[in-house]
A and B are shown apart, each in its own frame.
Chain A
């Protein structure tokens, strides 16, 4: 009888807290959104199930080595890739091997929209500082506005490892919620006339341009912001594997097997890191609120900058300001949102390929911004 009672002490039913229940419900919600609503299923299913794994209550004090934060547990080993910032560059490698920069190469001025959307990162940084976060924490929270999950995790692992769970969940949630968050801002900030603007057809991009772009883009951006080398180096290397035409096998592995494996590990461990005992804090709620604001500001800045750019272009050369919303680097979701939103006004206006330009520019921009934050704030930590 005593044995049975002891076993009951080990069980989840005995150790459960309201926090665990809340987190399990959030995990189930993520799985529901992924399967039923088709919101970023490749991310939300692993994260949602990871939340379930991380929130099964157990007796922590007796060294069973089960929890993600317990030294020596399997989940702890897998989590190492998140904590040390190993997974994000590998994701970027796969992303580079998938990305076609033709849209950007055919219309280079769209690069500026990718830069404008990063303003949200820095404004949120100020907001986080005003709320009492340290500069390092504020930098890690601000990067959520880049709408780039791997970048957010990479920066959080370096600047504020204790916030990594909430930042990762916030970043991926907002990436999944791009179709919900962006359209109202797009409607608010653009007139119908602007939304109907048709873009010039894209220029044909030669193979030479496609091969040279990753090499030179890496050299330029990395020389300016060396902190972004792990991310941009992998991104452009992956792209060179794709475009060179002689490393098809490597490119294929990077964009399929490798990125899938890393996504599974990343999603699962990030989800599991949201253990109720460490995750459910007022700080996490603040991170979520700031993340949402960051994302909205990024979208608004992109739209606004597109409108400002139009002031300098003559009729016929103007760009559809909706493309500014694609400057956040949620690839390809925000480009898809732009296409769907534009098609509602004029079904024959195809903006998808044009929106991919600022979208990939956003990836470059957010990685550069991450590099800047890393260089400045890591230096402050060192001091």
Chain B
């Protein structure tokens, strides 16, 4: 419909055939071009909105879960003293059987004998002092 209107106007203004044809092409390009530019950026806009919505939805969901945990456990940050936190941390550590002050008391020192090899020989590794011929 828009193109028909453009064609009518075009022939009224440009009686010359070639100029008229060019102008008609131009009007069609302009209409199609503007529509496509808007379409692509509007589509991009909706995709961005959708993505932002999904991102915020997942963030809200995560925050709600955290809030619920916080309420049910009644673990308000301001109520816990540093000593209690340290004690809990230590208890967790100990429960994982990582005792730092209890040793196994088993001696594990073994004598290691190395077989002789000229590659690891100490005498071949040191610099020999030059001998005087006098």
Binds B, one of A175-183, A189-197, A204-212: A204-212
Whether the pair B39, A139 counts as a contact (CB closer than 8 A) is: no
Binds B, one of A219-227, A272-280, A347-355: A219-227
Q: Given A135-B22, A208-B55 in contact, is the A372-B41 Cβ separation under 8 Å?
A: no
Interface size on A, residues (CB 8 A): 42
Interface: B92 (CB within 8 A):
no
Interface: B36 (CB within 8 A):
yes
Q: Mark B54-70, 1 if CB is under 8 A from A, else 0.
A: 01000000000000000
Interface: A95 (CB within 8 A):
no
Whether the pair B41, A129 counts as a contact (CB closer than 8 A) is: no
Interface size on B, residues (CB 8 A): 27
Whether the pair B29, A122 counts as a contact (CB closer than 8 A) is: yes
Whether the pair B40, A224 counts as a contact (CB closer than 8 A) is: yes
Whether the pair A115, B30 counts as a contact (CB closer than 8 A) is: no
In whole angstroms, what is the CA distance A376 to B34 when docked? 13
Binds B, one of A14-22, A34-42, A150-158, A361-369: A361-369
Whether the pair B52, A135 counts as a contact (CB closer than 8 A) is: no
Q: Which of these, A108, A221, A376, contacts B48 with CB under 8 Å?
A: A108
Q: Given A119-B34, A132-B19, A368-B41 in contact, is the A377-B29 Cβ separation under 8 Å?
A: yes
Q: Given A108-B45, A111-B45, A216-B47 in contact, is the A224-B36 Cβ separation under 8 Å?
A: yes
Interface: A134 (CB within 8 A):
yes
Can you name the residue of chain A whose Cβ is closest to the Cβ of B28? A376
Q: Which of these, B23, B33, B43, B44, contacts A121 with CB under 8 Å?
A: B33
Interface: A91 (CB within 8 A):
no
Whether the pair B29, A364 counts as a contact (CB closer than 8 A) is: no
Can you name the residue of chain A whose Cβ is closest to the Cβ of B13? A130
Can you name the residue of chain A whose Cβ is closest to the Cβ of B27? A126
Interface: A330 (CB within 8 A):
no
In whole angstroms, what is the CA distance A108 to B42 when docked? 10
Q: Total contacts A to B, CB within 8 angstroms? A: 100
Whether the pair A368, B55 counts as a contact (CB closer than 8 A) is: no
Q: Which of B22, B39, B43 has the most CB of A within 10 A?
A: B22
Whether the pair A123, B30 counts as a contact (CB closer than 8 A) is: yes
Q: Given A115-B42, A216-B47 in contact, is the A138-B37 Cβ separation under 8 Å?
A: no
Whether the pair B26, A129 counts as a contact (CB closer than 8 A) is: yes
Q: Which of A125, A129, A132, A212 has the most CB of B within 10 A?
A: A129
Whether the pair A112, B41 counts as a contact (CB closer than 8 A) is: yes
What is the interface of chain B mostly: helix, strand, loop, or mixed? Answer: helix
Whether the pair A112, B45 counts as a contact (CB closer than 8 A) is: yes
Q: Which of these, B37, B38, B45, B55, contacts A209 with CB under 8 Å?
A: B55
Contacts of B49 in A (CB 8 A): 108
Interface: A217 (CB within 8 A):
yes
Q: Mark A111-149, 1 if CB is under 8 A from B, else 0.
A: 110110011011101100110101100110000000000
Interface: A109 (CB within 8 A):
yes
Interface: A373 (CB within 8 A):
yes
Interface: A105 (CB within 8 A):
yes
In whole angstroms, what is the CA distance A217 to B33 when docked? 19
Whether the pair A373, B55 counts as a contact (CB closer than 8 A) is: no
Whether the pair B26, A135 counts as a contact (CB closer than 8 A) is: yes
Whether the pair B29, A220 counts as a contact (CB closer than 8 A) is: no
Whether the pair A134, B22 counts as a contact (CB closer than 8 A) is: yes
Contacts of B19 in A (CB 8 A): 129, 132
What would 18 A/B residue contacts be, using CB atoms closer than 8 Å? A105-B48, A111-B41, A111-B45, A112-B38, A115-B40, A118-B34, A121-B33, A123-B30, A125-B33, A126-B26, A135-B29, A138-B26, A209-B52, A221-B44, A225-B36, A368-B36, A372-B37, A373-B33
A interface residues, Cβ below 8 angstroms from B: 105, 108-109, 111-112, 114-115, 118-119, 121-123, 125-126, 129-130, 132, 134-135, 138-139, 206, 208-209, 212-213, 216-217, 220-221, 224-225, 361, 364-365, 368-369, 372-373, 376-377, 380
**Which 5 pairs from chain A and chain B are nearest by CB?**
A122-B30, A115-B41, A108-B48, A129-B26, A224-B40
A105-B52, A224-B40, A372-B33 are known; give 5 further A-B pairs, CB within 8 A: A123-B30, A125-B30, A220-B44, A221-B40, A221-B44
